[in-house]
Structure 1
Amino acid sequence: MWKFIVRRLFITLPQVILLSVLIFLMAQMMPGDALSGLIDPNIDPAAIEQQRENLGLNNPWYVQYTDWITGALQGDLGQSFRYKMPVTELVEQRLINTFWLSVATLLITYIIAIPLGITSGRYNDSWADQMITGYTYIGFATPLFIFALVMLWVFGYQLGWFPTGGSVAPGLEPGSFDYVLSKLQHLLLPAISMALITTVNTVQYLRSEIIDTKQKDFIITARAKGASESRVYNRHILRNSLLPIAAFFGFEITGLIGGTVFVENIFGYPGMGDLFIQSILLRDYSVVTAVVLLFGIASILGALISDIILSLVDPRIRIK
């Protein structure tokens, strides 16, 4: 088991290095630089050029990359030219919000998806299966940003059940019960909005696996031996059908990263997705590269976690 994990880590490390190089090169190819639009055009061009020289913006790309990645490994992601603060501190503030939003979304997703998928797969072609399948078809056809806007309008503005912006009510003392409750209230509506759309993939995947497993020879044999229906489902069908859901976990994380970019902007939730969009609009390159790098690493780690979980559940897939 440990050999498998070590091998996967050795594969992951080159992926992260390649990712960092690609992100830096794409940032370099963007028009302008970190000083574009920040300096009064009436200032002497020689002074502007000197400032670029002092910041290292005229160095070759590989020198700039080396300086950037060396600082990143030491926890220094540079300085935000727009927010006038270290990128590390800025990202840390937003990362906490996005982390809890992602955790809440994952929990709600699996709480909804697993019972629906099991019901739909076990009682396929029933009225319950038709209703669940209809829900998944609607979910597949509905863009996340449209659904989030509808949820915000209905439950935020019309019914007033949830806050319509921010991550916590102002004036509350951090750590107090009211503060935690306010955080939860601000978190729920964005998390539920994402979960109701992202859950449809897991429901359909689990339904298909259960229906396919029910037709396998070992299930027919178990029934022929007189095993009870509950035992057949719990010990054979369900156990084997849940294996691919573990592998799907990494894709859930990747989907959440894309979802937070839309949802956080729609709900005015101050997380990494909102910071990413604002930094692009403000041409804050140091923040953009840092956020994209963290998003990419999260996707790679999600795939790694999926492989490890799947190897724990089913040792047959471990690499020899």
Structure 2
Amino acid sequence: MRQYMVKRILHLIPTLIGASLLIFFVFALAPGDYIDSDMTLTPERAAELKAIYGLDKPMLQRYFIWLGNALHGDFGYSLQYQQPVMALLKEYVVNSFLIASVSLVLTWIIAVFIGVFSAVRQYSWYDSLITLAVFGAMSFPSFFIGLLMIKWFAVDLGWLPIGGILDTGSQTTGWARIWEVARHMILPATVLTMLSVGSLTRHFRANMMDVIKQDFVRTARAKGLKERAVIYKHALRNALLPAITLLGLELPGLFSGAIITERIFTWPGVGYIHMEAISNRDYTVLMGFTMFLALLTVVGNLLADWLYAVADPRIRLK
């Protein structure tokens, strides 16, 4: 197991280098940049700024300069925010991680329990109702659900704040500050959960329906085990195995899927600054954020491989 994980970690290096090559050239080939978007600059001043930031060099040379700096933790300088990209990501990634982690935990808990109940009660009124709700949640776009929840719970009822991470002019500290952040996080985390739980619920339902028909489940029931033990101890553990693969896609998917949600709720996360960077063609920020998603993808796949062995002792990774 340890030897396998070491090999997988070593394989991540060429994967990330290949991803960096693709990411850099996609943004480098895009027309214009942040300097070109500033119409107040004279051509002489624009050329001077491009020379200062190395944008006048050949593209291949710029890539190796960027890659060498990235290996030392320097992903460039944001012209829009006037600070290093790494400092910018460190400032905002924690906020995105809050709603992403809460949404991930809620999504898996809800999907597991609903998927199991729906599979056990196949074709019942409960199964039909869950299927209708799941497809309904998957059909609506994130901006529509977000604006609808703001209208209901923030404007009409006044139960929750409209957006942001803190109240305007807030000076709270300690537990009061934690509660304030939690209140602001309820609506965006709920929207992300609603958008993610549908497909995962259907996946768990299909897996459970296949597992409960297998011989070892019938054997467990024939031994006189309680139905709860048969479902949750024997069947569910085997149904989780195919779903573990999805975990490698859930981590970057939550961060990238939160881009519109963070914009709607003015949540100060990496998704919010990503939208600002697209509008202003701040490509250094876009490259840094995209590399962050690439890193999450490979780490998620590595974590999924490890969880395979944890969930099923019969699996031996070599």
Superposed pair shares fold, TM > 0.5: yes
Q: Which amino acid aligns with 1:241?
A: A
- What is the aligned length? 318
* Larger deviation, residues 45-54 vs 128-137: 45-54
Unaligned runs of 5+ in 2: none
Q: Residue 174 and residue 66 in structure 1: after superposition, are their counterparts in 2 closer, same or farther (change >3 A)? A: farther
Tell me how far 1:36 sits from its aligned partner.
0.8
Give the secondary-structure state (helix, strand or coil) at the position aligned to 1:248: helix
| Matched-pair contact (CA < 8 Å) for 1:172–1:178 | no
Equivalences for residues 89-128 of structure 1 within 5 A: 89-128=87-126
Residue 28 in structure 1 maps to residue 28 in structure 2: yes
After superposition, the CA RMSD in angstroms is 1.9
**2:231 corresponding residue in structure 1:** 233
Q: Residue 83 and residue 121 in structure 1: after superposition, are their counterparts in 2 closer, same or farther (change >3 A)? A: same
| Matched-pair contact (CA < 8 Å) for 1:121–1:210 | yes
Q: Which amino acid aligns with 1:187?
A: M
| Matched-pair contact (CA < 8 Å) for 2:34–2:80 | no
Runs of 4+ off more than 6 Å: none
Give the secondary-structure state (helix, strand or coil) at the position aligned to 1:35: helix
Unaligned runs of 5+ in 1: none
Equivalences for residues 152-301 of structure 1 within 5 A: 152-173=150-171, 175-301=173-299
Tell me how far 1:26 sits from its aligned partner.
0.8
User: Which deviations, in whole Å up to 9, do the C-alpha atoms of 1:40-86 show, x marking residues without a partner?
Assistant: 35x3x445424322321121222211221222222222221112222
Q: Which amino acid aligns with 1:312?
A: V
**1:63 corresponding residue in structure 2:** 61
TM-score when scaled to structure 1?
0.92
Q: d(CA) in 1 for partners of 2:173 and 2:188? A: 22
| Matched-pair contact (CA < 8 Å) for 2:36–2:46 | no
Tell me how far 1:174 sits from its aligned partner.
6.4
Give the secondary-structure state (helix, strand or coil) at the position aligned to 1:287: helix
* Larger deviation, residues 246-255 vs 116-125: 246-255
| Matched-pair contact (CA < 8 Å) for 2:256–2:293 | no
Q: d(CA) in 1 for partners of 2:172 and 2:265? A: 22
Tell me how far 1:135 sits from its aligned partner.
1.2
**2:38 corresponding residue in structure 1:** 38
| Matched-pair contact (CA < 8 Å) for 1:4–1:318 | no
Residue 82 in structure 1 maps to residue 86 in structure 2: no
Q: d(CA) in 1 for partners of 2:218 and 2:195? A: 35
Give the secondary-structure state (helix, strand or coil) at the position aligned to 2:178: helix
TM-score when scaled to structure 2?
0.93
% identical equivalent positions: 32
| Matched-pair contact (CA < 8 Å) for 2:76–2:284 | yes
Q: Which amino acid aligns with 1:117?
A: G
